[in-house]
């Protein structure tokens, strides 16, 4: 079933109202997020109604600090795909603008959640904040639920041992280059989605052509070379391909823009402008500047050998971290 996406809350069709809804940002859609939405989905099934998620775009941090460096683990496109694959029925995306940022917590509940969405039950994490100046908390929401007669569930910290699942912790893991641990904490492989860009084609001159993707909107991971998998959803090259990728600024060629360049093994297809997904499996080495093309070519040959060995490891197979599904929480 295809997830329905609404970028407004006025004049909604009746069949998307009266749902169990989960409020949050869900950057990365990690195991903690999956637990919250999974519990909401279980209740939605018991109540014979739909499961909805409500987010805001852009992220409030980006709205209030527009010049800051990208920090998000997932683009909106990636987050929407993850939520849809999980089993969410409806995604409400509210534009975070001046009007919404000045909406009082009480008005957010009465005007948006009740009058427009007609919610039956709301799920939030323990640290959820909403309304002008972050004036509303999970406890405020629970009190309003009691007053207005809708259900509220506050999900406490999701722990694994002494580790708290949080987007902040996972960002630090990614900045350190530990993408394998990042995947374990996300509950899915960290990946970048986008359309293949037309680059300067320097890779072809050293027999290592690359598929280039923009990193705009994504947190900057540790710069360097990674073993990766490339998913191509359509066209003659449709499938899952192994490869090696560099995330960096290409100092050998005196470049400064941040780019993801993926070399796909045993590949001879034109995929320019096609949408692809690049899954990061393990870190190989730091990005470095080489003394000419020949030195770079020899190092890439070594990188490819290491990547192939990594990708053959049973623990690094795509299926070793299965795609999260709602059914796992029912």
Q: Which two tokens stand for residue 91?
A: 């995604």
Write the DSSP assignment of 241-288 as a string of letters. EEEEEEEE--GGGT--S-EEEEEETT-----TT-EEEEEEEEEEEE--
Identify whether residues 58 and 205 lie together within a single domain: no
- Cβ contacts of residue 315 below 8 Å, gap of 6+? none
Measured in whole angstroms, the distance separating CA 134 from the mean position of its chain's CA atoms is 24
The pLDDT of residue 110 is 96
pLDDT value at position 18?
96
**In this structure, are 223 and 297 located in the same domain?**
yes
Per-residue tens of pLDDT for the chain, all 330 residues: 799 999 999 999 999 999 999 999 999 999 999 999 999 999 999 999 999 999 999 999 898 888 888 899 999 999 999 999 999 999 999 999 999 999 999 999 999 999 999 999 999 999 999 999 999 999 999 999 999 999 999 999 887 777 789 999 999 999 999 999 999 999 999 999 999 998 665 555 456 788 999 998 899 999 999 999 999 999 899 999 999 999 987 644 445 578 899 999 999 999 999 999 999 999 999 988 877 778 888 999 999 999 999 999 999 999 999 889 999 998
What's 134's domain CATH number? 3.40.50.620
Domain end, chosen from 129, 162, 195, is at 162
The answer to whether residues 31 and 112 belong to one domain is yes
Residues ≥6 apart with Cβ < 8 Å to 290? 252, 296, 299
Which structure tokens are listed for 237? 């090259």
CATH code assigned at 272: 2.40.30.30
**pLDDT at res. 205:** 47
Segment holding 123, helix H or strand E: strand 121-125
Burial of 74 (0-12, 13-18, 19+ CB in 10 A): buried
Residues 118 and 67 in one domain: yes
Contact assessment for residue 84 and residue 323, using Cβ atoms and an 8 Å cutoff = no
Q: Which domain holds residue 290?
A: 178-319
Buried b (16+ CB within 10 A) or exposed e, 285-321: eeeeeeeeeeebeeebeebbeebeebbeeeebeeeeb
DSSP, collapsed to helix, strand or coil, labels residue 193 as strand
Are residues 118 and 188 both part of a single domain? no
Co-location of 184 and 157 in the same domain: no
One domain, residues 132 and 200: no
Residues 150, 17 within the same domain: yes
**Token output for 31:** 């195991």
Domain boundary residue among 104, 138, 162? 162
* Calpha distance 155→207 (Å, rounded): 52
Q: How many domains does the chain have?
A: 2
Q: What is the pLDDT of residue 250?
A: 62
Does 14 share its domain with 155? yes
Residues 139 and 244 in one domain: no
Q: 121 and 81: one domain?
A: yes
Contact 74, 43 (CB under 8 A): no
């Amino acid at each position: 079933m295809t997830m329905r996406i609404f970028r407004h809350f006025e004049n909604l069709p009746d069949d998307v109202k009266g749902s169990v809804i989960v409020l949050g940002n869900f950057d990365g859609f990690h195991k903690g997020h999956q637990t919250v939405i999974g519990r909401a989905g279980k209740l939605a099934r018991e109540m014979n109604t739909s499961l909805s998620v409500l987010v805001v775009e852009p992220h409030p941090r980006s709205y209030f600090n527009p010049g800051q460096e990208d920090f998000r683990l997932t683009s909106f496109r990636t987050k929407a795909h993850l939520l849809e694959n999980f089993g969410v029925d409806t995604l409400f995306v509210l534009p975070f603008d001046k009007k919404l940022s000045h909406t009082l917590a009480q008005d957010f509940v009465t005007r948006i959640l009740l009058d427009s969405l007609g919610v039956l039950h709301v799920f939030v994490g323990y640290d959820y904040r909403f309304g002008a100046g972050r004036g509303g908390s999970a406890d405020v929401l629970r009190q309003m639920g009691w007053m207005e007669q809708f259900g509220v569930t506050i999900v406490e910290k999701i722990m694994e041992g002494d580790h708290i699942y949080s987007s902040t912790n996972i960002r630090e893991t990614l900045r350190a280059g530990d993408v394998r641990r990042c995947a374990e904490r996300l509950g899915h492989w960290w990946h970048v989605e986008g359309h293949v860009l037309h680059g300067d084609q320097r890779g072809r001159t050293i027999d290592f052509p690359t598929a280039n993707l923009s990193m705009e909107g994504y947190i900057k991971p540790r710069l360097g070379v990674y073993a990766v998998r490339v998913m191509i959803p359509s066209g003659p090259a449709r499938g899952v391909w192994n490869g090696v990728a560099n995330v960096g600024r290409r100092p050998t060629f005196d470049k400064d823009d941040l780019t993801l360049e993926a070399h796909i093994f045993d590949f001879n297809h034109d995929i320019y402008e096609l949408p692809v997904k690049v899954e990061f499996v393990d870190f190989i080495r730091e990005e470095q500047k080489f003394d000419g093309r020949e030195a770079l070519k020899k190092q890439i040959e070594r990188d490819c050998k290491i990547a192939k060995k990594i990708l053959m490891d049973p623990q690094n197979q795509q299926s070793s971290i299965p795609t999260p599904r709602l059914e796992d929480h029912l």
